[in-house]
Amino acid sequence: MATFGLVHGAGHGAWCWEHLIPALQALGHRAWAVDLPCEDPEAGCLRYAEAVDRALPAADDLLLVGHSLGGLTIPLVAARRSVRTLVFLCALVPLFGRSLLDQVAAEPGIYDSVQRGHPGRITDPDGATWLRDEGTARDIFYHDCAPDDVRRAFARLKRQAAAPRREACPLSAWPPGERAYILCREDRAISPAWSRRVAGERLGVEPIELGGSHSPFIAQPTVLAAVLDRLAR
């Protein structure tokens, strides 16, 4: 049995793991999902890491899964406490000393073309982002999810403040522990080609590839749970 800490991406919440948690429990694992203060304009990844650290139980077998924007937070948690494995799921990966805005300015192709050019993805004057309607959410995040799941997910999405994108990563080296990357080949948010490259260049690992969208915890939770179970074992 292992302990999984589940860290959501931009605009989401602990609710997004509701299909994955029972699938992990059925395999004998413990799983905890954390709500991040994504609407707080003052909260960057350091604050997110504090929230994760407070929410998770003490464990010496912790696998920390960071989805999408959550990939910037999980290494900061591992700098605060023992983490056995950092699992980047369709995730951004930090560059030490640089912000996400710095990264995107240098590499616009981090984001898939669907997300980059979608008219329903709105950026407010303060830099916060949100999705205009359910169709936008389906196109970018959930295109292979059941219609009822898309409807429920969109109803719970929040405005994502800009602070995590503006905050430079304070790390100068990876914390102790193993690293893994899981990408989805039809991801329309984070570019699969970029994910393949940075998995090797920054994490030193060969990515695990799944079919499907940016949200395998909704679209294919049993498949994702089986992959995480193999990583735990």
Give CA–CA dist 133/127, Å, rounded: 19
As given in the structure block, the two tokens for residue 207 are 């990515």
74: left (phi over 0), alpha (psi -120 to 50) or beta: alpha
Backbone angles phi, psi at 144, to 5 degrees: -110, 15
Give CA–CA dist 31/179, Å, rounded: 18
Query: If we measure between CA atoms, which residue out of 52, 11, 100, 63 comes closest to residue 177?
Result: 63
Give CA–CA dist 184/91, Å, rounded: 10
Active-site residue, from 68, 99, 195, 215: 68
C-beta of residue 158 within 8 angstroms of C-beta of residue 128: no
68 is catalytic: yes
C-beta of residue 62 within 8 angstroms of C-beta of residue 52: no
Which residues, at least 6 apart from 2, have a Cβ–Cβ distance to it below 8 Å?
29, 30, 61, 62, 63, 84, 232
The stretches of the chain forming alpha helices (DSSP H) are 20-26, 45-55, 74-78, 100-106, 113-117, 134-140, 147-156, 163-166, 192-201, 216-219, 221-232
* Residues designated catalytic: 68
